[in-house]
Structure 1
C-alpha cells in the first residue's frame, strides 16, 4: 500500500491499518490521528511533522523512522522497535512507551512529559534538552545515553540502568533514583536537590558542582566519586559509602552522616556538617 492509498482511505474514515508493510512510506505532515498501525512495519518511513495523536503503534517495527516534530501525544508505542529513529522535537506527552526499544534513537528537545517508559531501552539514545518531567522510567535502560541539560524534575528512575550516562546540567530535582545504577555517569552541575537516591550506586561518578541539597543518599555507594564543590546541605548520607571520593570544597552543612564510610576520601576545604572547614 502506498502513501496515496493510505491518505485516501483515512480520509474516507478508515483507521485500521494494523499489520501492514509500509516500510519507506512517505507520510510527512499528514493528519493521521487515532490511526491503528499495531504490528505494522514502518522501517525507514517518513512521518515527520505528522499528527499522530492517539495513534496505536503497539509492537510496530519503526527502525530508522523519521518522526521529527511529530505529534504523538497519548500514542501507544508499547513494545515498538524504534531503534535509530529520529524523534527530534517530537511531542510524546503522556505517551505509552513501556518496554519500547529506543536504542540509539534521537530524542533531542523532545517533549516526553508524564509518559510511561518503564522497562524501555534507551541505551546510547540522544536526549539532549529533552523534557521528561514527571515521567516513569523505572527499570529503564539508559546506558551511555546523552541527557545533557534534560528536564527530569519529578521523574522516576527506580532501579534504572544509567551507567556511563551523560546528565551534565540536567534538572533532576525531586526525581526518584532509588536503586538506580549511575556508575561512571556524568552529573556535573546537575540539580539533584530533594532527589531520592537511597540504595543507588554512583561508583566513580562525576558530580562536580552538583546540587544535592536535601537529597536522600542513605545506603548509597559513591566510591571514588568526584564531588568537588558539590552541595550536600541537609542531605541524608547515613550508611553511605564515600570511600576514596573527592570531596574538596564540598558543602555538607547540616547533612546527616551517621556511619558514613569516608576512608581515603579527600576532604580538603570541605565545609563539614557542624560548619567547620576541614583543613
Structure 2
C-alpha cells in the first residue's frame, strides 16, 4: 500500500489496515490515533515522532523500524517483532509488549512506565536511562542488555533472565528481587534502598558504591561479591553468605548479620555502628561471626 492511499482512507474514517505492507515507508510526523496495523509489515519504515496513541500493532513486523520519539500510550504491541529497531525517546507508557522480540533494539531514554513486557525478548537491547517504573518484566529475557541508569522502581522482575546484564547506576529502590539470579552482573552505584533480595543468587555480583540501605539480603549468596564502599546502613544480612566478599570501606552501621558466613571476608576500613553489641574476629583475621544492631 502507498502511504498516500493510507492517509486518504484514514481521513475518510477507515482505521483497519491489518496485514498491509508498508515496509520502508515514510510515516514520520503523522497522527494515526487508534489505527489498526495488526500483522502489518513495517520493516524498515520511518515512524519517528508520529502520534499513534492506542494503536494496534499486535504481531506486526517492525524490524529495523525508526520508532524514535513516537507517542504511543496504551498501545497493543504484543507479539511484535522490533528486532534491531530504534525506539530512542519513544513515549510508550502502559503499552503491551508481551512476548515481543526486541533483541538488539535501542530503547535508550524511552518511557515505558507501567508497560507490560512479560516474556519479551530484550537480549542485547540498549536501554540507557530507560523509564521502566512499575513495568511488568516477568520472564523477560534481559541477557546482555544495557540498562545503565534505568529506572525500575516498582517494576516486577520475577523469573527474568539477567545474565551479563548491566544495571550500573540503575534505580531499583524497593524492587522485589527475592530468589532472583543476579550472579556476576554489574550493579555498581545502583540504588537498591529497601529492595528485597532475600535468598537471591548474588555471587561475584558487582555492588561497588551501591546504595543498599534497608535492603533485605537475608539468606542471599554473596560469595565473592564486590561491595566496596557500598552503603548498607540498616540492611538485613542475617544468614547471608559473605564468604570472600569485599566489604572494604563499606558502611555497615545498624546492619543485622546474625548467622552470616564471613570466611575470608574483607572488612578493612568498614564503618560499624557505635551501637555494635557483639562481633568476633578469630585467628588469621578471619571474621566468622558478628552481630550489628
Task: Give the alignment's TM-score, normalised by structure 2.
Answer: 0.90
Q: Secondary structure at the residue paired with 2:10?
A: helix
Q: Which runs of 5+ in 1 are unaligned?
A: none
Task: Spell out, residue by residue over 1:194-245, the C-alpha distance to the aligned partner (whole angstroms, 9 max, x if none).
Answer: 1111232222111111000011122222221110011111112223222221
Indicate the larger mover: 252-261 or 137-146: 252-261
Cα distance in 2 between the residues matched to 1:21 and 1:219:
54
Q: Secondary structure at the residue paired with 1:56?
A: coil
Counterpart for residue 101 of structure 2: 101
Q: Does 2:252 align with 1:261? A: no
Which has the greater radius of gyration? 2
Contact 1:227 1:250 in 2 (8 A): yes
Q: How does 1:49-68 map to 2 (within 5 A)?
A: 49-68=49-68
Q: Secondary structure at the residue paired with 2:7?
A: helix
Structure 1 residue 157 displacement after superposition: 1.1
Cα distance in 1 between the residues matched to 2:149 and 2:53:
27
Indicate the larger mover: 101-110 or 162-171: 162-171
Structure 1 residue 272 displacement after superposition: 4.1
Counterpart for residue 40 of structure 2: 40
Q: How does 1:71-82 map to 2 (within 5 A)?
A: 71-82=71-82
Cα distance in 1 between the residues matched to 2:51 and 2:144:
31
Cα distance in 2 between the residues matched to 1:100 and 1:218:
35
Structure 1 residue 158 displacement after superposition: 1.5
Counterpart for residue 119 of structure 2: 119
Structure 1 residue 67 displacement after superposition: 0.3
Task: Spell out, residue by residue over 1:79-135, the C-alpha distance to the aligned partner (whole angstroms, 9 max, x if none).
Answer: 111111100000010111111111111011101101111111111111111111111
Counterpart for residue 195 of structure 2: 195
Q: How does 1:148-227 map to 2 (within 5 A)?
A: 148-227=148-227
Q: Which runs of 5+ in 2 are unaligned?
A: 286-293
Contact 1:135 1:154 in 2 (8 A): yes
Cα distance in 1 between the residues matched to 2:216 and 2:118:
22
Indicate the larger mover: 269-278 or 149-158: 269-278
Cα distance in 2 between the residues matched to 1:49 and 1:237:
48
Counterpart for residue 132 of structure 2: 132
Counterpart for residue 7 of structure 2: 7
Task: Give the alignment's TM-score, normalised by structure 1.
Answer: 0.94
Task: Spell out, residue by residue over 1:167-195, the C-alpha distance to the aligned partner (whole angstroms, 9 max, x if none).
Answer: 22111111222232222211111110011
Counterpart for residue 147 of structure 2: 147
Cα distance in 1 between the residues matched to 2:179 and 2:20:
41
Structure 1 residue 271 displacement after superposition: 2.8
Counterpart for residue 241 of structure 1: 241
Structure 1 residue 63 displacement after superposition: 0.9
* Number of matched pairs: 279
Cα distance in 2 between the residues matched to 1:145 and 1:169:
14
Cα distance in 2 between the residues matched to 1:155 and 1:45:
31
Q: What CA RMSD, in Å, does the superposition of the two structures yield over aligned residues?
A: 1.7
Counterpart for residue 232 of structure 2: 232
- CA 1:5–1:72: 2 relative to 1, 3 Å: same
Contact 1:160 1:179 in 2 (8 A): no
Q: Does 2:25 align with 1:28? A: no
Q: Secondary structure at the residue paired with 1:7?
A: helix
